[in-house]
Every structure is written in C-alpha cells, then in structure tokens.
Amino acid sequence: MEFPEDLKYSKEHEWVLVEENVATVGITDYAQDQLGDIVFVEMPAIGDKVSKEDAFGVVESVKAVSDIYAPVSGKVLEVNDDLPDNPEMVNEDPYGDGWMIKIEMNDPEELHDLMTAAEYEEYVAEEKE
Amino acid sequence: MKRTPLFAAHEALGARFVDFGGWEMPVQYTGIIAEHQAVRQRAGLFDVSHMGEIELRGPRALAACQALTVNDVGRLHDGQAQYSLLCLPSGGVVDDIIVHRIAPERLLLCVNAGNTAKDLAWVREHHGGAEVVDRSAEVAQLALQGPRATDILMPVTDLPLREIPSFSFREGQVAGRRALVARTGYTGEDGWEIYCGAEAALAVWNALLDGGRPLGMAPAGLGARDTLRLERALPLYGHELTEETTPLEAGLGWVVRLNKGEFIGRDALRRQRETGVQRQLVGLMMHAPGIARQGYRIFHGPDAVGAVTSGTKSPTLGKAIALGYVASTWKEVGTKLGIEIRGRTSEAEVVPLPFYKRAV
C-alpha cells in the first residue's frame, strides 16, 4: 500500500497534488484496493463547479457504485479523458495515470483540513480494524 | 455472522469477505474479473457451504416433494437432479432449489443460504408425511467449475466422472472422504458441486486447490459467482426471484409442470399461463456509458415500464448487461428502452438470453 509523501489526503480517500493554485485529484491506493476491479468512471465536465466534500463523480467496481468527493472547492480545469475507456488505470496507477480531475481552487485554506501522508496512513490503519 | 468450515482457509488466501444471507463469505481473492476469467477459460473453486441442505425421507418423501415443488419429481431416477422451485399458493417463489433423488425414500434439496430457515419452516409445514431433516450444518459444499473442472477432479476421486451426465450425481470418495458429486453449477460452465461432511471440507478443498493450481484453477469468490451467473442469465433469489414474482414472469415456465398433479401454486400458475403475464424478465444491454443496478427504473419514452433486478459490466462481453422486469408489451428482443442512472436516462436494448452460452 503506497502513501506518497508529497500528496494530501481526504477522509473519503481522495488524494490531492497541489501545484500553485491547481489541485490534481484522484483516489488513493487504499481506495482502489477496497473497491476492487474498477469498470466504470463518470467524471464532471470542464468548467463545472465543485464544492468541498460534495460528490463530483462516480467510480463503479464490478459489484458497487461509489461517489468521489471533492477534497477542495473550485472549478474543474481539466478531466482525465483516458479514464472512461480505461477505468482499470485507477487500479493500476492510482497516483499517476489514474488521476481524475484538476481543480482551480477557490480557497487554498481548505488544504489545511486534509491529512498528511503519515496521518492518512494512520487513518487507514484505524479504518481497517 | 455464520462462517463455513473453510473460513480460515479463505483468510490464509487473502480473501476479502462480505455478508451474504447472514454468512461471512469470500467475495474475492485476487480480483473478481481475474476469477471470472479463470472459470470461463480454465477452472475456479468456490466454497458454497453456506447453501442449505434439506432431506425428505421415508415412504412419503416423493409424494411430499411432488406437492412442494413445481417441476416433476416423477421424472427423476436415482442419481438424477432437477432444478425446481418452491412456490406459494399465489405462484410467488419461496425459493429456487435443486432436488436430488438419492433413493425413492431419500430426496436432497439444495436451497439458498439466505432462505434456509424460511424453506425449512415451509417444508415442515407442508411435510405431507415425509420426515424432514435439516442437514445444512453438517454438510459442506464446494463448486468446481470451468472447462478443466473434470480434469482437476478426476485424480482425486474414485468416481467415473465421464459417465456422469449433466444434472446427475454419484456418491463416492473425493480426497479420501465420502462425498456426493453432482454435475451441476451456477456459472454457465461444465463443472461439479461436491457435497461432503463439514469435517471433510478442508481436506477436499486443499486437494482440489493443489491439483487445480497447475491447471490454472483459481479460488473464486461470490463476486465472480455473481457475474458468471448473470452472464448465463441464471436467476438469483432476492433479485430475479421473490415471493412477489412468479416462475412464468421470470422466464422459468419450462420448470413448471402443470400436468404432473397437485402442487402448491398450481392453480395460480395455470391461471397465469392461460391469461398471460403482465410483466416479463428480459435481458438488457446498455448502449450508453453506465451500469444498470438493482432497483434502477426502466423507461419506454417518458413512461416507467419496469425495474432492473441485476446488472454488471460483463467481463466476457466487455459491455454493461442487466436483467429486469418490464411490462410485457416491451419484452420483445430489439426493443429500445431507457434505464435511469443517477437521474439521467441511458439507452438500452432488449437482447436474447442468455448473454453468454458456452460452446458445446
């Protein structure tokens, strides 16, 4: 199970990579492992507004449907267009090719509510119990 | 939650568990799609010890079974099995089961895990003079399924497997333990369902796992079991079958033998056969992105005409498939329907069933 140091993490198991005012978002290694084989991904459109802790998309495994929540608020700048045709990339490379959207942040202060890699690893360990 | 005798073995294999009908069962080991493909292409081994086993015994066993079930038990010889249903007087389905005729005075009913207590009460209430024995706790069941299943089972049994046709069974030895070996399954592949004592389950499981691994067999969980049965359009109780649906609506008219004599549900089913069904189970293939799931509404134009009972993305076909009930007007193959997915209607089409059938 990987927990890259340079990312921030949400309680809903999304990761965030911050580059200036832009947050790249995906789901964590732990999340993809829990979901199992991902067979469908539904993404928002470029320009859509997303709000922190609101669902912005959907991932479906063979068995179940799960919402994906925005870890920060803002406007969708970019969407990973490869995912709808290759949803298994979320399983294979959750922190790389499996990224989902880029958000232009309204309020970078919201980042303080997210966890560090060490905090998230601990959070996951507690959730497993 | 209840556990099967193989729980620790599943844990050791890294299984992920799910609550199924009150049982803590493996849903997957490595991944549902890989396990699904293993069964289609080679073989998979399932622990289905959660299934219930009810025996009818004594001189009244056959008559009692005939009155309880919709199929014709009179057609069975010793060593033959039959898919059947327990129905209510209304024609609604209590459970779908497999009846095994071990002897004229011994019939073994294999029933769904989540329905075992209900079925047992129902069978006891309508025992017809037969002795009713609940063997669910003492009997374990493994399903070995896939094109290589027979090759894998052969070296560990004394039974002449090639002489056992589909829906037949024999009693013999598997891995040195007494077992009832039936050529039945729930995957759409050739294969075997092996009933043995709970205390023998681990020895049988390990022998099959050891013998099967070199032939590409994988342990498979309930996740793959569900996608496999759905591709083959085999109904699942609680989805396609309920006390509110009849066998005729579910496309199981072939199971119902109206002329065999009295049985529970006969009058209602005869009436329904004469008047025709108002709704029908159909196969649906999605033509738009998205996966239909149980409970999603089905539309024809602006009109709600039914609901999905099961849906998934078919690992074999690579397309989203579903089963659902629609008003009979819209049951014909080729009918374009819409399925409401998260507030939007996605295009689907009625297609022939099953979605997948193995080449013979």
Where are the alpha helices (H) located in B173-289, listed in sequence order?
201-212, 222-231, 266-275
Measured between CA atoms, the residue of chain A closest to residue B32 is A37
Structural domain boundaries, residue B117: 52-134
Q: Which of B100, B116, B134 is the last residue of a domain?
A: B134
The verdict on B145 and B105 lying in the same domain is: no
Measured between CA atoms, the residue of chain B closest to residue A128 is B16
The verdict on B109 and B98 lying in the same domain is: yes
Could you give the CA distance from residue A98 to residue A87 in angstroms, rounded to a whole number? 8
Q: How far is B286 from chain A (nearest CA, A)?
A: 13
Q: How far is B136 from chain A (nearest CA, A)?
A: 28
Judge whether B26 is closer than 8 Å to chain A, CB to CB: no
The verdict on B306 and B333 lying in the same domain is: yes
Identify from A30, A37, A65 which residue to disrupt to test chain B contact, counting B C-beta atoms within 10 A and taking the largest count. A37
Q: What is the pLDDT of residue B304?
A: 98
The two structure tokens encoding residue A26: 């995906």
- The verdict on domain A8-107 having CATH code 2.40.50.100 is yes
Domain borders along chain A are: 8-107
pLDDT digits (tens, 9 = 90+) for A19-54: 999 999 999 999 999 999 999 999 999 999 999 999
Q: What is the pLDDT of residue B240?
A: 98
Could you give the CA distance from residue B106 to residue B349 in angstroms, rounded to a whole number? 46
Nearest-by-Cβ selection for A36 from B28, B226, B342 = B28
Q: Give the distance, in angstroms, between the CA of residue B237 and the centroid of all CA atoms in the same chain.
A: 8
Domain of B309, CATH number, reads 2.40.30.110
Query: Do the domain assignments include residue B42?
Result: yes
pLDDT digits (tens, 9 = 90+) for B146-189: 999 999 999 999 999 999 999 999 999 999 999 999 999 999 99
Q: How many domains does chain B have?
A: 3
Length of chain A: 129
* A7 DSSP assignment: -
Query: Do the domain assignments include residue B15?
Result: yes
Give A81's contacts in chain B (Cβ within 8 Å): none
Domain of B69, CATH number, reads 3.30.70.1400
Q: What is the average pLDDT value for chain A, to the nearest integer?
A: 95
The verdict on B287 and B153 lying in the same domain is: no
Query: Do the domain assignments include residue B249?
Result: no
The two structure tokens encoding residue B110: 């294999």
Judge whether B27 is closer than 8 Å to chain A, CB to CB: yes
Query: Do the domain assignments include residue B156?
Result: yes
Could you give the CA distance from residue B99 to residue B73 in angstroms, rounded to a whole number? 8
Q: What's the whole-number mean pLDDT along residues B249-270?
A: 97
Q: How far is B311 from chain A (nearest CA, A)?
A: 9
DSSP string, B307-318: EEEEEEE-TTTS
The verdict on B294 and B150 lying in the same domain is: no
Phi-psi region of B156 (alpha: psi -120 to 50; beta: other; left: phi over 0): alpha
pLDDT digits (tens, 9 = 90+) for B99-155: 999 999 999 999 999 999 999 999 999 999 999 999 999 999 999 999 999 999 999
DSSP string, A58-126: EEEESS-EEEEE-SS-EEEEEE-TTTTT-TTHHHH-TTTTT--EEEEES-GGGGGGSBPHHHHHHHHHH
The verdict on B61 and B18 lying in the same domain is: no
The verdict on B146 and B226 lying in the same domain is: yes
Neighbours of B206 (CB within 10 A): 13
- pLDDT of B324 above 90: yes
Which ipTM value was assigned to this complex?
A: 0.86
The verdict on B173 and B207 lying in the same domain is: yes
Give B289's contacts in chain A (Cβ within 8 Å): 40, 42, 84
Could you give the CA distance from residue B220 to residue B40 in angstroms, rounded to a whole number? 12
The verdict on B89 and B105 lying in the same domain is: yes
Q: Which of B134, B153, B180 is the last residue of a domain?
A: B134
* Contact state of A42 with B289 under an 8 Å Cβ cutoff: yes
pTM tops 0.90, yes or no: yes
Query: Do the domain assignments include residue B84?
Result: yes
Identify from A33, A60, A63 which residue to disrupt to test chain B contact, counting B C-beta atoms within 10 A and taking the largest count. A63
Q: How far is B156 from chain A (nearest CA, A)?
A: 33
Measured between CA atoms, the residue of chain B closest to residue A35 is B31
- pLDDT of B66 above 90: yes
The verdict on B319 and B182 lying in the same domain is: no
The verdict on B205 and B167 lying in the same domain is: yes
The verdict on B150 and B197 lying in the same domain is: yes
Measured between CA atoms, the residue of chain A closest to residue B312 is A62
The two structure tokens encoding residue B64: 């009692």
Identify from B28, B294, B317, B319 which residue to disrupt to test chain A contact, counting A C-beta atoms within 10 A and taking the largest count. B28
Could you give the CA distance from residue B180 to residue B174 in angstroms, rounded to a whole number? 9
Query: Do the domain assignments include residue B242?
Result: no
pLDDT digits (tens, 9 = 90+) for B285-304: 999 989 999 999 999 999 99
Could you give the CA distance from residue B121 to residue B251 in angstroms, rounded to a whole number? 27
